[in-house]
């Protein structure tokens, strides 16, 4: 239909026993670029709906042998039911009410004009399109705010246990520590989602993003005219906005000491004041703070208030770096691949052995965020099917055991054999060792293809790769 950005051809079924109406609608709708099927009877109509999904069904109320209304609900039993437009005789108000009650989207009286019919169909399709978009958006929001902490390693299970425990103490302050990208914010969201504050808001603020004054105004709000540039009506702060929920103070280690004192007061008194205000306002929030700094040494260095540190440190959840829970890498990789595959509408079925090996051997200095980005990259580059090594981005952080740091340029020639052959044999052997016999990576480092590498392994009798059990990870 013109100016309708419908995904694919809209499919319409016309159920009417009058040949003239069926064929007239077929011609009209087909000329609008719609796919049309027709059925002469109720049974024929039901049969077609069982075989195929339609967007709109135009249903005559007077069908031979069956009243159109009696089959209306059986036409709408699938997971994405069609919109049903009922055709009635003139002036049958009771039918109209009954049809709408049974789930019809609209009712058109016979005889009808083409314009009327097209306007109704267009409205049905527009509404369906909006609903589809809304469902898609809801799914995206759910994905983006997913609070699923993936991982089976003992260290992440420990984190999951702590989350469950602290969730049951809905006012206790929590400190989440860990390297960048390990999932600190996700842990904070999980605590919120598992607690009985989950029906309240989860409000996050990055303490490093604002200067001291702005951060104070943002957190506590301010009274009208309390400082130059302040909004005339004053402003509600995040403590007030998060009431009943959780306030997540990200990068707390970056907060200035004067503001640290004010935060300490809120944690002790459970009340706060707006900037320029004199009234104490109850702070009904759970504070979760996070940092990738070592707060203890920040205290020792005089950069973080000791009293605030103890206030925050009531319950600490330390999120382990990804390199310390390698067994979670394939699980996380599949989880992200599934997410990106769905987002991009691609069928991405998994990872080849080589790409799995590369993912497991890499050190992941950027932790899960880096892994997630790598999988997003691979999902874009891969046309479909399995993710292979060539789809992964180039990594720069080194292998887990630090073997990249081994002086890779030094080759000691044993004995008096200074032949190029000996040199090459040692170089190939060294690179295979460095890559833990990852043939693709070794070939790429040596600047040759995999077949040539296999030939050289045979030629120099370099043996075969060690078994997985011998590879130290």
Which residue has the CB atom at the shortest distance from Mg ion?
Answer: 185
Q: Whose Cβ is closer to ligand ATP: residue 96's or residue 182's?
A: 182
Q: What are 271's strand-pairing partners?
A: 282
- Using the rule CB under 6 A, which residue among 47, 127, 135, 180 binds ligand ATP? 180
Contacts of 448 by beta carbon, 8 Å cutoff, 6+ apart:
456
- Kind of pairing between the strands at 246-250 and 202-206: parallel
Expressed in angstroms, the distance from the first to the final Cα of the chain is: 59
- Using the rule CB under 5 A, which residue among 98, 185, 218, 328 binds Mg ion? 185
92 binds ligand ATP (CB under 6 A): no
Number of residues interacting with Mg ion: please give it, by CB under 5 A: 1
CA 426/CA 424 separation, integer angstroms: 5
Number of residues interacting with ligand ATP: please give it, by CB under 6 A: 16
- Give the full edge-to-edge strand order of the sheet including 174-177: 202-206, 246-250, 286-291, 174-177, 315-318
Q: Where are the alpha helices (DSSP H) in 252-400?
A: 257-269, 295-300, 306-312, 329-344, 353-361, 367-381
Instruction: Report what 58 binds from Mg ion, ligand ATP, none; CB cut-off 5-8 Å by kind.
Output: none
Contacts of 314 by beta carbon, 8 Å cutoff, 6+ apart:
172, 173, 174, 175
DSSP state of 469: G
368 binds ligand ATP (CB under 6 A): yes
Token pair 């309708």 is found at 4
Q: How far is the CB of 367 from ligand ATP (least distance, A)?
A: 7
38 binds ligand ATP (CB under 6 A): no
328 binds Mg ion (CB under 5 A): no
Nearest by Cα to 185 from 209, 157, 205: 205
Nearest by Cα to 304 from 295, 313, 312: 295
Q: Whose Cβ is closer to ligand ATP: residue 16's or residue 250's?
A: 250
* Token digits of residue 7: 């995904």
Q: How far is the CB of 290 from ligand ATP (least distance, A)?
A: 6
178 binds ligand ATP (CB under 6 A): yes
Residues 287-326 that bind ligand ATP (CB under 6 A): 292
Would you say 401 and 433 are in contact if contact means Cβ atoms under 8 Å apart? no
Nearest-Å Rg of the Cα atoms of the chain is 33
Q: Which stretch binds Mg ion (CB under 5 A): 184-192, 302-310, 446-454, 462-470?
A: 184-192
185 binds ligand ATP (CB under 6 A): yes
Q: Site map for Mg ion, 283-302, x if CB under 5 A?
A: --------------------
Q: Site map for ligand ATP, 112-151, x if CB under 6 A?
A: -------------------------------------xxx
186 binds ligand ATP (CB under 6 A): yes
Q: Site map for ligand ATP, 265-294, x if CB under 6 A?
A: ---------------------------x--
Binding site for ligand ATP (CB under 6 A): 149-151, 178, 180-186, 292, 332, 368-369, 372
């Amino acid at each position: 239909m013109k100016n309708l950005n419908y995904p694919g051809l809209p499919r319409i079924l016309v159920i009417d026993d009058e040949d003239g109406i069926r064929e007239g609608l077929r011609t009209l709708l087909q000329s609008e670029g719609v796919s049309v099927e027709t059925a002469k009877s109720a049974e024929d109509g039901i049969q077609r709906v069982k075989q195929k999904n339609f967007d709109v069904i135009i249903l005559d109320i007077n069908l031979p042998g069956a009243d159109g209304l009696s089959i209306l609900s059986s036409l709408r039993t699938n997971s994405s039911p069609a919109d049903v437009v009922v055709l009635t005789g003139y002036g049958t108000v009771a039918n109209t009410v009954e049809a709408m009650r049974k789930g019809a989207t609209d009712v058109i009286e016979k005889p009808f004009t083409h314009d009327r019919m097209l306007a109704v169909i267009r409205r049905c399709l527009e509404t369906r399109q909006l609903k589809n978009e809304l469902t898609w958006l809801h799914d995206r929001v759910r994905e983006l705010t997913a609070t699923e902490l993936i991982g089976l390693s003992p260290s992440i299970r420990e984190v999951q246990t702590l989350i469950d425990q602290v969730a049951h103490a809905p006012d206790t302050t929590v400190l989440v520590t860990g390297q960048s990208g390990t999932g600190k914010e996700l842990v904070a969201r999980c605590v919120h989602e598992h607690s009985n504050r989950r029906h309240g808001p989860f409000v996050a603020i990055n303490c490093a993003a604002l200067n001291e004054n702005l951060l104070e105004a943002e957190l506590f709000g301010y009274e009208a005219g309390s400082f130059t540039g302040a909004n005339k009506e004053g402003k509600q702060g995040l403590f007030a906005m998060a009431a009943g929920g959780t306030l997540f103070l990200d990068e707390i280690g970056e907060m200035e000491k004067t503001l640290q004192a004010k935060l300490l007061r809120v944690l002790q008194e459970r009340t706060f004041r707006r900037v320029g205000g004199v009234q104490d306002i109850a702070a009904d929030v759970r504070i979760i703070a996070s940092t990738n700094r070592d707060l203890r040494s920040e205290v020792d260095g005089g950069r973080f208030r000791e009293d605030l540190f103890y206030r925050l440190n009531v319950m600490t959840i330390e999120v382990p770096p990804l390199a310390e829970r390698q067994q979670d890498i394939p699980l996380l990789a599949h989880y992200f691949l599934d997410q990106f595959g769905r987002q991009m509408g691609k069928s991405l079925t998994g990872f080849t052995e080589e790409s799995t090996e590369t993912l497991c051997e890499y050190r992941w200095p950027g932790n899960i965020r880096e892994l997630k980005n790598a999988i997003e990259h691979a999902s874009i580059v891969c046309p479909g099917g399995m993710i292979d090594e060539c789809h992964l981005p180039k990594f720069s952080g080194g292998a887990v055991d630090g073997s990249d740091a081994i002086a890779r340029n030094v080759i000691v020639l044993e004995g008096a054999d200074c032949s190029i052959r000996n040199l090459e044999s040692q170089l190939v052997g060294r690179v295979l060792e460095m890559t833990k016999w990852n043939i693709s990576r070794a070939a790429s480092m040596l600047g040759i293809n995999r077949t040539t590498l296999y030939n050289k392994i045979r030629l120099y009798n370099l043996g075969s790769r060690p078994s997985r059990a011998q590879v130290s990870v």
